[in-house]
Amino acid sequence: MANYLITGGAGFIGSHLVHALVARGDQVRVLDNFETGLRKNLDPVRDRIELREVDLADAAAVQQACQGIDYIFHEGALPSVPRSVKEPRPSHEINIGGTFNVLEGARLAKVKRVVYAASSSAYGNQPGFPRVETMSPQPLSPYAVQKLTGEYYMQAYWRVYGLETVCLRYFNIFGARQVPDSPYSGVMARFTLMMMRGDRPAIFGDGEQGRDFTHVDNVVRANLLAIEAPREKAAGQVFNIACGQRHTLNETYALLATFIGFQHPPIYGPEREGDVRDSLADITAASEVLGYVPEVGFEEGLRRTVAWYREEFAGQEKGTQ
């Protein structure tokens, strides 16, 4: 049994990690300022975790929270390209400054390993698919720059201080607990809830942009594997975490509409500034070093996601009110 710290532990991905660790009997400390995380995400395990309401910008509080910790999953962030374009300073302070505070806290507390939630947005719109970790980053948005800077900090702390770090570049994560009704919500969550309510979702662009959509259960598995991976192969490295398949937004929209019983076309609008046109990952390195294999496929992930939203938002689906 180990002691874990999860930053952003009340958020979408962070809360799934919390539940997974609690289920296997580990000690879990959660940091969240609840700007984007939700307390209800932790309700089923609240009596089995230590919860600290802390902002990652509070260096002293972050440092104190790292004491007695074996491993850190650093999920805390302001995870939105559009928000970073509209309001770059808050996301800079959390995504870069907060990451620095976590690393310093980990270094001083002699934490064994930090696993960092990096982003596929680092690749930008450069030519060449699938994306391989050896490609030179070409970030398009402040958010992408911030998450890439976090990677560089992680690698520097490994090289300079010997703090083991592993960076996981997430590709288009979706699933239960993803907030659906924010202007910055992920496309899958937004589409699902709007269709349930009988509203036509908007697609920014022609809908032929592709995404390597990855169910959250695959991401949880990748994080747990990253903690266990051999130091000599994993420390200081970056790994793509995805399914290695590309699905267009039009294809995704059509499948969701079928599962939900929605019969209207989307509303097409202009492309959003800073958005990456396409994503498709090479997951060879994660497979060989971490032993990562995506266990939940695209369609199965969609079915699970729709089922969760139907239960969570019961009564809001058109025709049930």
Q: pLDDT tens for residues 5-40?
A: 999 999 999 999 999 999 999 999 999 999 999 999
Q: What is the DSSP string of 254-306?
A: HHHHHHHT---PPEEEPPPTT--S---B--HHIIIII-----S-HHHHHHHHH
Q: Rounded mean pLDDT of 210-229?
A: 97
Task: Return the pLDDT at 184.
Answer: 57
Residue 110 contacts residue 81 (beta carbons within 8 Å): no
Task: Return the pLDDT at 321.
Answer: 38
The CATH number given to whatever domain includes residue 90 is 3.40.50.720
- Give domain status of residue 247, yes or no: no
- Give domain status of residue 312, yes or no: no
Domain tally, the chain:
1
> Could you tell me the CA-to-CA distances from 223 to 13, 155, 219, 235 in Å, in that order?
10, 17, 6, 13
What H or E segment, with its residue span, contains residue 20? Answer: helix 12-23
Kindly report the pTM of this predicted structure: 0.94
pLDDT in tens, 95-148: 999 999 999 999 999 999 999 999 999 999 998 999 999 999 999 999 999 999
- Give domain status of residue 206, yes or no: no
- Give domain status of residue 113, yes or no: yes
- Give domain status of residue 302, yes or no: no
Domain containing 45: what range?
3-174+214-241
Residue 34 contacts residue 53 (beta carbons within 8 Å): yes
Q: Could you tell me the pLDDT band of residue 183, with boundaries at 50, 70 and 90? A: low
- Give domain status of residue 199, yes or no: no
The closest alpha carbon to 261, from 319, 308, 214, 203, belongs to 319
Task: Return the pLDDT at 124.
Answer: 93
- Give domain status of residue 133, yes or no: yes
Q: Rounded mean pLDDT of 187-216?
A: 94
Cα–Cα dist 204/249, whole Å: 9
Active site residues: 143
pLDDT tops 80 at residue 243: yes
- Give domain status of residue 299, yes or no: no
CB atoms under 10 Å from CB of 321, counted, come to: 7
Q: Rounded mean pLDDT of 183-205?
A: 89
